[in-house]
Amino acid sequence: MCSNHVHAVVGCDGQDIEEIAGRFKNAGRVALKDVGFEGKVWTRGYDKRFCFDEKDLRARVAYVNKHNEGE
Protein backbone atom coordinates (compact mmCIF):
# COMPACT_ATOMS: atom_id res chain seq x y z
CA MET A 1 0.00 0.00 0.00
CA CYS A 2 1.38 3.42 -0.93
CA SER A 3 -0.01 6.36 1.02
CA ASN A 4 -0.26 9.85 -0.38
CA HIS A 5 -0.30 11.55 3.01
CA VAL A 6 1.25 11.46 6.47
CA HIS A 7 -0.28 11.24 9.93
CA ALA A 8 1.62 12.47 12.98
CA VAL A 9 0.76 13.03 16.61
CA VAL A 10 3.06 15.72 17.93
CA GLY A 11 3.38 17.56 21.22
CA CYS A 12 3.80 21.27 20.55
CA ASP A 13 4.64 22.36 24.10
CA GLY A 14 3.69 25.97 23.36
CA GLN A 15 5.55 26.11 20.03
CA ASP A 16 3.91 27.54 16.94
CA ILE A 17 2.08 24.73 15.08
CA GLU A 18 2.93 26.27 11.70
CA GLU A 19 6.63 26.11 12.57
CA ILE A 20 6.38 22.50 13.70
CA ALA A 21 4.52 21.46 10.53
CA GLY A 22 7.10 23.29 8.44
CA ARG A 23 9.96 21.42 10.11
CA PHE A 24 8.28 18.05 9.49
CA LYS A 25 7.60 18.92 5.86
CA ASN A 26 11.15 20.09 5.31
CA ALA A 27 12.64 16.97 6.92
CA GLY A 28 10.46 14.76 4.71
CA ARG A 29 11.37 16.70 1.58
CA VAL A 30 15.11 16.45 2.36
CA ALA A 31 14.87 12.72 3.13
CA LEU A 32 13.07 12.03 -0.15
CA LYS A 33 15.55 14.14 -2.10
CA ASP A 34 18.42 12.19 -0.50
CA VAL A 35 17.04 8.94 -1.95
CA GLY A 36 16.59 10.42 -5.41
CA PHE A 37 13.02 11.71 -5.41
CA GLU A 38 12.57 14.77 -7.56
CA GLY A 39 9.50 16.94 -7.80
CA LYS A 40 6.89 18.48 -5.58
CA VAL A 41 6.35 16.69 -2.28
CA TRP A 42 3.82 18.70 -0.28
CA THR A 43 0.69 20.71 -0.90
CA ARG A 44 0.22 24.03 0.85
CA GLY A 45 -1.07 23.93 4.39
CA TYR A 46 -1.93 21.02 6.63
CA ASP A 47 -4.77 19.71 8.79
CA LYS A 48 -4.36 20.27 12.51
CA ARG A 49 -6.44 18.83 15.28
CA PHE A 50 -5.68 19.56 18.89
CA CYS A 51 -6.03 17.15 21.81
CA PHE A 52 -7.25 18.78 24.99
CA ASP A 53 -7.25 15.79 27.31
CA GLU A 54 -5.99 12.22 27.62
CA LYS A 55 -9.11 10.81 25.94
CA ASP A 56 -8.57 13.02 22.86
CA LEU A 57 -4.90 12.04 22.72
CA ARG A 58 -5.61 8.31 22.95
CA ALA A 59 -8.27 8.56 20.22
CA ARG A 60 -5.89 10.45 17.91
CA VAL A 61 -3.06 7.95 18.46
CA ALA A 62 -5.46 5.04 17.81
CA TYR A 63 -6.59 6.74 14.57
CA VAL A 64 -3.01 7.17 13.37
CA ASN A 65 -2.06 3.60 14.31
CA LYS A 66 -5.13 2.21 12.51
CA HIS A 67 -4.22 4.06 9.32
CA ASN A 68 -0.59 2.90 9.48
CA GLU A 69 -1.51 -0.81 9.64
CA GLY A 70 -0.47 -2.74 6.59
CA GLU A 71 1.95 -0.13 5.27
Which residue range is the domain that position 24 belongs to?
Answer: 17-68
Residue 35 within any structural domain of the chain? yes
pLDDT at 35: 96
pTM: 0.72
Q: Is residue 3 part of a domain?
A: no
Please indicate, yes or no, if residue 6 is contained in any of the structural domains: no
Number of domains the chain contains: 1
- pLDDT of the residue at 1: 47
In a domain, 5, yes or no: no
Report mean pLDDT in 10-residue bins for the chain, 71 residues. 76 89 93 93 88 95 84 56
DSSP structure string for 1-53: ---SS-------TT--HHHHHHHHHHHHHHHHHHTT--S----S--------S
Residue partners of 8: CB distance under 8 A and separation at least 6:
24, 64
Residue 10 lies in a domain: no
> Has residue 44 been placed in a domain?
yes
